[in-house]
Amino acid sequence: MADKVYALPNVQSPSTPVIFNPEKCIGCNTCVEVCQIDVYIPNPEKGKPPIILHPEECWYCGCCVTDCPTPGAIKFNYPLPLKPRWRNKETGEVMQVK
Ligand code: SF4
Ligand code: SF4
């Protein structure tokens, strides 16, 4: 009889270091393989984006995003302190790094 393995995402940390686009992600799991600290695990459903299991461990090295072979499938979601906001002097418009 095969052993069952359970993987429980960390519900203590609501942070999401990256955002997958399920329309573009092909589920190749390159991002899973290049992440040296195992933030992700493969999705049990083939062709679907990986599961972010330990978001709090991400240190934004960028490997998963730069090695993804599918443009637009994954993008960074920088934490708030890394998203500076400023106001346009002339228009008053508030801008923020996306
Ligand atoms: S490397 Fe890109 S296409 Fe492959 S699973 Fe990750 S996000 Fe999806
Ligand atoms: S940015 Fe680096 S540490 Fe964070 S999930 Fe991607 S590969 Fe892993």
- Classify residue 81: in a domain, yes or no: yes
- Classify residue 30: in a domain, yes or no: yes
- How far, in Å, CA of 22 to CA of 9, rounded? 19
Residue to mutate (ligand 2; options 10, 20, 54, 60; most atoms within 8 A of CB): 60
- Classify residue 43: in a domain, yes or no: yes
- Classify residue 53: in a domain, yes or no: yes
- How far, in Å, CA of 6 to CA of 83, rounded? 35
- Classify residue 2: in a domain, yes or no: no
Residue to mutate (ligand 2; options 19, 38, 59; most atoms within 8 A of CB): 59
Minimum mean pLDDT range among 8-12, 14-18, 80-84, 93-97 = 8-12
- pLDDT confidence of 12, banded at 50, 70, 90? low
54: CATH:
3.30.70.20
pLDDT digits (tens, 9 = 90+) for 68-86: 999 999 999 888 777 888 8
Domain count, the chain: 1
- pLDDT confidence of 14, banded at 50, 70, 90? low
Position 42 scores a pLDDT of 96
Report, as an integer, the average pLDDT of 62-71: 96
- Classify residue 72: in a domain, yes or no: yes
Q: In angstroms, what is the span from residue 20 Cα to ligand 2's centroid? A: 13
Structural domain that includes position 78: 18-96
* DSSP secondary structure, 10-45, as one string: -TT----SEEE-TTT-----HHHHH-TT--EE--SS
